[in-house]
Structure formats: structure tokens, C-alpha cells
Amino acid sequence: MSASASKTHRRADPIAGLADPDLFCASAFIDGQRSNDSADTIDVTDPATGQVIGAVPALDGAASTTAVDAAARAFPDWSGLLPQERAAILRRWYEAIRNARDDLALIMTREQGKPLFESRGEIDYAASFVEFYAEEAKRPNIESVTSHLADAEVEVWREPAGVAALITPWNFPAAMLTRKAAAALAAGCTCVAHPSSETPFSATALAVLADRAGMPPGVFNVVTGRAAEVVEPWTNDPRVRVLSFTGSTEIGRLLYRQSAGTMKRLVMELGGLAPFIVFADADLDQAVEEAIKAKFATSGQDCLGANRFFIERPLYDEFCRRFAGATAALTVGPGIDDPDIGPLMNQRAVDKQRQHVEDALAKGARCLVGGKAHPAGPLFFAPTVLVDVPADALVMHEETFGPVAAIAPFDDEATVIARANDTEYGLIAYLHTNDPRRIYRASRALQFGMVAVNRTKVTGAPIPFGGMKQSGLGREGARLGMEAFTEVKYVCRDWR
């Protein structure tokens, strides 16, 4: 049934400027119905102003199990559709997202804080996964194997794994959800999703659009509520066959442990501590421009954000001078005014910036720009450049997840590669050099799932996104992203 016809419909106070106010939806979505089955609610705050923009139901463990019931009931029909039929629904979802781009971006900016231009960019990115997997759903999934037996024929099939649980963070509240959901749905899985309680409205808006696109009841469920209460029943439920999580390594480890009892397939997109390495032969203008993007996109709250800048000694002073100048020119303000940098998500994030700055200064670093709170509001932190940062500073070892750049010089290739690799994380590394042999050597030596050479923007639906070491398990995007939601079945047919 259409969600908008549901009796339990509850709309949030409309955000001014929405062309389609129904997209701002203060309900969970379970079994094709809007669900508000809880007296308890969770307030959602605009980080730019501190204003509560709405609230979503704090559903409990019983409701989250009801969502799995719905997804398990929907699985036989959804997985039994022709791939072209699933693809057609995904394609309609994609078109609905594209058509609602400006409204979705506005909702995201109000709940997440990011500048409007970045929110629009994220909606495009989110839609691109739905489009990609609508196509990928149709591709043949049979692998041909030459038989090793004289009297038998062998085949390997990919089958949808079952119900998939998707747990997503607040920094990319639309794209992290579609990257998982579109792949799972294309593979024939049904989903239960928990969006971050800081940014649930981007997810509920996507659920409204999925419903309008004709997604059958139970196929794509969004359950709002306190994370531990909603997600723990999923980790224990044997019907949930895949758990795909994006968030911190700490919570990733917890979910890994919780999922052990039911031996789930896991996809983990976790934290990063990206090194940004500039060799003396690099194009300095290009390196500075890309460094600004790698540090300050999403106000620094990006798992791909450069945390540690290593600059070869001959370029060091000039790089620091130019980078500091470009940083000082960045505009800061509420996302709705479309500045370069918006607010941070919460007070914890602001405290972490302050802690990393104070610790680095106490250990001998110098601050060229920023280094303190920004007057735009309590959750704003000034874009900051720290130089001569010693190796033992916290900012060189912990994900800062904010607009603080830490820079240190280096003298030779072997040392900088060793320093870059000296972390439990391995998501992305940035490399600037014009020496083709060094590009090859360093790309091989860096223990990261992604290496970006002389550029920052490298992601997109067709590439395998993910990290090594404790940055995660598996990959999202590309064909691999869909295969994560499948089981492999080997069939051997005797033909005597």
C-alpha cells in the first residue's frame, strides 16, 4: 500500500522551502507502513543552530524483530522476481531520487549540517548507486567452470543470501544507505536498515521514495531508534544472513563479535587515517588544491579525509604557506548559506578537534591558521593548520574527523611509506608525485584499500570502495558490492 495512505502517518514539522513536504517523514518504515509504534521519540537537531527540526520514533527490539519478520516474509517473492523486474523498481527509485534532489539535499543540510552544494553532490552520489545496481541486477550471474570430472558438468551459482541488515552513519546519510541497499536489493535480498539517530530523515525520505517507486511491502524497511536496541536483535537473528555496517572501527568490532553466534556474512566500512604524501617532484599547485579537498570536504567529517600530511623537505615550507593561505580563505557558516565548511555533528566532535590541537601544540607543533572554536556557533570549529607535528601527537594516530590538518616533513621515500603504513587503519592514501616509477612503487607499498594519485576525488559506483586492516572487510560499489549479498552455490551434475 502507499505509505502516504497509512493511518499511522506522522509528518514532521515541515522544513521551510521543501517542494514536497511529505518527504520530511517522522516515521519508521516497516512492511510498507509508516510505523510510529512508540511513545518514546528521538529529537533530531540542526547542528548549525541547535534547533530541534523534528523527532523520530525510538522503536524497540520487538519492533526491529517485526521488521525482520516482514523482510523474511517478503524475501521469497522479491528474490523470485526476474532480475529485470527488480531492476525496473530500482530504476524508478533512482528516478524518484533524482527528481527529489533539491528537497533531499535540503533535508540533509538541516539534519547533518553540510553545505547545500555538498548535500546535492551526495544525493547525486546516492542516486548513482541505485542506477548502477539497477543495471547490474540484470547481468548474468553464472560462472562457467570447466569440469575437472570426466563424467560430470559443474556450475557455480550466485544466490541472494537472505535478509540483510544495513547500519549507516551520519556523515553520508543518503549515499551510505543506497550504496548498501541498492546492491542488496539488486542481488535479491530484502533489507532492514538502521540510520544514525543523528540523521534519520534522509533515510526515511528515501523510504518514502522507494514506496512511491513500487517497492513491495517488507522489501526495504527503515527502523529508527536507539542503535544498540534496534541492531542487537538483528545480530542475533539467524534469518539475517548479511550485516553491512558503515561507521567507526570500535562499533564495527562490537558488531563483528555480536554476529559471530549466527555466523553472518559481514561487510564493514570503518574508520580511516589517510596519509597525504607530497614528494618534491609533485606539481605544488595541484597538491595544495587537492589537499584542501582531501582535508575539508564534509567539514573534515569524512572517512576519506586526509588526517596526516607528509611533505618532502624541499617543498615543505612553501606547501605549508600556500596550504595555510588557502585554508584561511575558506568560508564557515550554516550549511544552508552554502559556505565551504559547515558545523560539526555534535559536541564530541568539537571536543576532539580541541583535544588534537592542544595535544599537538603541547608536543611542539605550531598552529598557522585556526586552532580554536569558530564564532558561527557552538558546533563550529575553525579550519586549522598545524605544522611541524611530531610523530607522537594524537592527531597522527587517531581519526580527527574534523577540520584540523596536521603536517610534518619527511626526507626519503622508504621512511614516509613506513610512517604512512604505521597505523591499524588502511582505507585510503593520497600520493602526489610525477615520477611514474615512484607512483608504481609507492602504490604497491601502501597498505590501503584505495590509493589516489595526484587527485582526491576517486570514488563512484563502479569502483570497489573499502579498506584493509581495521578499516574494514569486503568492498562496496562495483560488482563486488553486490556479490557481498550473495551466497555461492556449486552444482555438480553427473551425466553418465
Q: Which residues are near ligand NAP by CB under 6 A?
A: 167-172, 176, 194, 196-198, 227-228, 231, 246-248, 251, 254-255, 269-272, 303, 399, 401, 427, 467, 472
Task: Count CB neighbours of 55 within 10 A.
Answer: 18
Is the Cβ–Cβ distance between 262 and 79 less than 8 Å?
no
Coil, strand or helix at 144: strand
Residue number, 251 or 311, with CB nearest to ligand NAP = 251
The beta-strand segments (E) located in 390-495 are 404-410, 428-432, 450-453, 472-473, 486-494
Residue number, 92 or 264, with CB nearest to ligand NAP = 264
Residue number, 30 or 288, with CB nearest to ligand NAP = 30
The full DSSP string for 17-30 is T-SSGGGSB-SEEE
β-pair partners for 269: 246, 472
We find the least distance from the C-beta atom of residue 462 to ligand NAP, in angstroms, to be 16
User: Which distant-in-sequence residues (6+ apart) come within 8 Å of 308 by Cβ?
Assistant: 273, 274, 275, 276, 395, 396, 406, 408, 419, 420
Q: Indicate the DSSP class of residue 199.
A: S
We find the least distance from the C-beta atom of residue 477 to ligand NAP, in angstroms, to be 10
**Annotated catalytic residue within 131, 269, 399, 476:** 269
Residue number, 304 or 341, with CB nearest to ligand NAP = 304
Q: Indicate the DSSP class of residue 465.
A: B
Residue number, 96 or 396, with CB nearest to ligand NAP = 396
We find the least distance from the C-beta atom of residue 399 to ligand NAP, in angstroms, to be 5
We find the least distance from the C-beta atom of residue 190 to ligand NAP, in angstroms, to be 20
Q: Indicate the DSSP class of residue 3.
A: G
Would you call 191 a catalytic residue per the annotation?
Answer: no
We find the least distance from the C-beta atom of residue 178 to ligand NAP, in angstroms, to be 13
User: Which distant-in-sequence residues (6+ apart) come within 8 Å of 39 by Cβ?
Assistant: none
Q: For residues 296 and 331, what is the distance between their CA atoms, to the nearest angstrom?
A: 11
Residue number, 242 or 326, with CB nearest to ligand NAP = 242
We find the least distance from the C-beta atom of residue 284 to ligand NAP, in angstroms, to be 29
Q: For residues 379 and 138, what is the distance between their CA atoms, to the nearest angstrom?
A: 45
For ligand NAP, the nearest residue by Cβ is 247
Residue number, 42 or 280, with CB nearest to ligand NAP = 42
We find the least distance from the C-beta atom of residue 224 to ligand NAP, in angstroms, to be 9
Burial of 19 (0-12, 13-18, 19+ CB in 10 A): exposed
Would you call 189 a catalytic residue per the annotation?
Answer: no
C-alpha radius of gyration, the chain, whole number: 23
Residue number, 335 or 472, with CB nearest to ligand NAP = 472
**Annotated catalytic residue within 303, 312, 476, 483:** 303
We find the least distance from the C-beta atom of residue 122 to ligand NAP, in angstroms, to be 11
b/e for 308-325, b at 16 or more Cβ within 10 A?
A: bbbbbeebbeebbebbbe
Tell how far CA 275 is from the center of its chain. Answer: 19
Q: For residues 14 and 7, what is the distance between their CA atoms, to the nearest angstrom?
A: 19
- What Cα–Cα distance (Å) separates residue 297 from each residue in 68, 73, 301, 406? 36, 41, 7, 16
Please list the active-site residues.
269, 303
